[in-house]
Amino acid sequence: MKYFSGFEWAVPRSFCDAVSLCKFEEGDLLYDNKHSYEKEWAEARKLVNYTIQVRYPSRVAGGVEKTSKSVFETNWNSEVRIELYKEHKKLQAGQIRTTQGRLYTALWRGDLSVLDASSPNPKPPSTVMSVTSKLGEAEEKAHEISNGSPVFYMARDYSNSVSTTKHRVINEYLFKHSDDPIVLTPGEAGLKDHISIAPSVEIVFFRRKDGSDADFSEIVKKAVYVPTKGAKKCMFNINKHGRVTCSKR
């Protein structure tokens, strides 16, 4: 089972819709450690520390809402009702009424006190789109990884279908031209305000394996650029997708 790397709680990637929309729904069951998901229940139940059971809102039948910053932020401030357990013992009478943003933050930071609805609602995290615009801050790490070869690096969010698809297509195009991708957290990559970046975001580095100075961005362009019909000018901008660091400073 795979998990989002930035959450203190063990949040499986199967919760990608809930993470992407900031909308946990009735029936969602969250554990604070991986053993609870991976081991046989007879053994796992002995290892369970905290558990969160979502009771409201009701699960919506049908398709998933379209992901967008506005949908995420609207859901961030919406109500969610949960039950909190420690070693299978319920810690409160009835249900805890809080916000989706507080629940998201509790899973992210590992701090259950943030669930208290009387405390200020935490701010939403920076999105993968916002991080893409700040990738220049990871240039030092890209040079470190380079070892004399060009490097393309991009932000990826496994909870975001658009981001995941873009990464998959780029990975397929670069497969023959690069070493195995190096995946780092925003903090490991050197981004300055990494503590405010969504815990589902990672930075992926592709190093050209033959050491060629050929323009790496042209390969990326083939993967992601679809020219507008009848366009007289190429509008491709590598910085909308990632960054390329040349072999020399």
| Three-class SS of the chain | CCECCCCCCCCEHHHHHHHHHCCCCCCCEEECCCHHHHCCHHHHCCCCCEEEEEEECCCCCCCCCCCCHHHHHHHHCCEEEEEEEECCEECCCCCEEEEHHHHHHHHHHCCHHHHCCCCCCCCCCECHHHHHCCHHHHHHHHHHHHCCCCEEEEEEECCCHHHHHHHHHHHHHHCCCECCCEEECHHHHCCCCHHHECCCEEEEEEEECCCCCCCHHHHHHHHHCCCCCCCCCCCCCHHHCCEEECCCC
Residue 55 domain-assigned (yes or no): yes
The answer to whether 151 and 174 are in contact (CB under 8 A) is: no
The answer to whether 92 and 108 are in contact (CB under 8 A) is: no
Domain extent for 66:
13-115
pLDDT band at residue 214 using 50, 70 and 90 as cut-offs: low
pLDDT band at residue 249 using 50, 70 and 90 as cut-offs: very low
Q: What pLDDT score does 197 carry?
A: 98
Q: Once rounded to an integer, what is the mean pLDDT over residues 38-49?
A: 89
Residue 137 domain-assigned (yes or no): yes
Q: What pLDDT score does 67 carry?
A: 62
Residue 96 domain-assigned (yes or no): yes
Q: Greater confidence, 22 or 245? A: 22
Cα of 218 vs its chain's centroid, Å: 27
**Residue 20 and residue 87 in one domain:** yes
**Residue 22 and residue 81 in one domain:** yes
For the record, the structure tokens of 11 come out as: 């949040």
pLDDT over threshold 70, residue 141: yes
**Residue 181 and residue 100 in one domain:** no
Number of domains forming the structure of the chain:
2
For the record, the structure tokens of 52 come out as: 């969160």
* pLDDT above 70 coverage of the chain, percent: 93
pLDDT band at residue 221 using 50, 70 and 90 as cut-offs: confident
pLDDT over threshold 80, residue 62: no
**Residue 145 and residue 87 in one domain:** no
pLDDT over threshold 80, residue 65: no
Residue 1 domain-assigned (yes or no): no
Domain boundary pick from 86, 115, 144: 115
What is the residue type of 206?
F
**Residue 101 and residue 145 in one domain:** no
**Residue 221 and residue 139 in one domain:** yes
Residue reference for tokens 């690096």? 153
Residue 98 domain-assigned (yes or no): yes
pLDDT over threshold 60, residue 218: yes
**Residue 29 and residue 85 in one domain:** yes
Domain boundary pick from 115, 145, 164: 115
Residue 224 domain-assigned (yes or no): yes
Residue 8 domain-assigned (yes or no): no
Residue 3 domain-assigned (yes or no): no
**Residue 132 and residue 161 in one domain:** yes
Cα of 138 vs its chain's centroid, Å: 17
